[in-house]
Amino acid sequence: QSALTQPPSASGSPGQSVTLSCTGTSSDVANYDSVSWYQLRPGKAPKLILYEVNKRPSGVPDRFSGSKSGNTASLTVSGLQAEDESDYYCSSYGANNKVLFGGGTKLTVL
């Protein structure tokens, strides 16, 4: 069982928007603005796509956005493209200098 809870799957059609959720607790997601999102494709290194809830590293399209409310963080992908099909993992800094990951959401572009 992962420390953070993510739905196992999500889907959307090209051009649509989809929102992925990540639920933690008052000791991690709710207590810190240190939520990150990673894209993971088979055989490839994980890629950071959002950090500090809603900041995008250089090169990440602005179709990716993030937010947080209480102990739930969200990643929204707008204008879905086929290349967005991937596994997405959230992460949060937690109490006692721990780093927590979610179980991942498999995003399918229909």
Partner 1 sequence: QIHLEESGGGVVRPGRSQRLSCAASGSEFRRSVMHWVRQAPGKGLEWVAAISYDGGHKYYGDPVKGRFTISRDNSKNTLFLQMNSLTVDDTAVYYCGRGLKDMSGPIDRWGQGTMVIFS
Tell the smallest beta-carbon distance from residue 97 to partner 1 (Å): 4
Select 9 or 17, whichever has its Cβ closest to partner 1.
9
Candidate list 20, 24, 29, 38; residue touching partner 1; CB under 8 A: 38
- Residue 10 contacts partner 1 per CB under 8 A: no
Tell the smallest beta-carbon distance from residue 95 to partner 1 (Å): 11
Are 6 and 104 in contact by the 8 Å Cβ rule? The answer is yes
- Residue 95 contacts partner 1 per CB under 8 A: no
Measured CA to CA, the distance from residue 65 to residue 24 in angstroms comes to 19
CA distances from residue 67 to 14, 20, 43, 83 in whole angstroms, order as listed = 22, 10, 29, 22
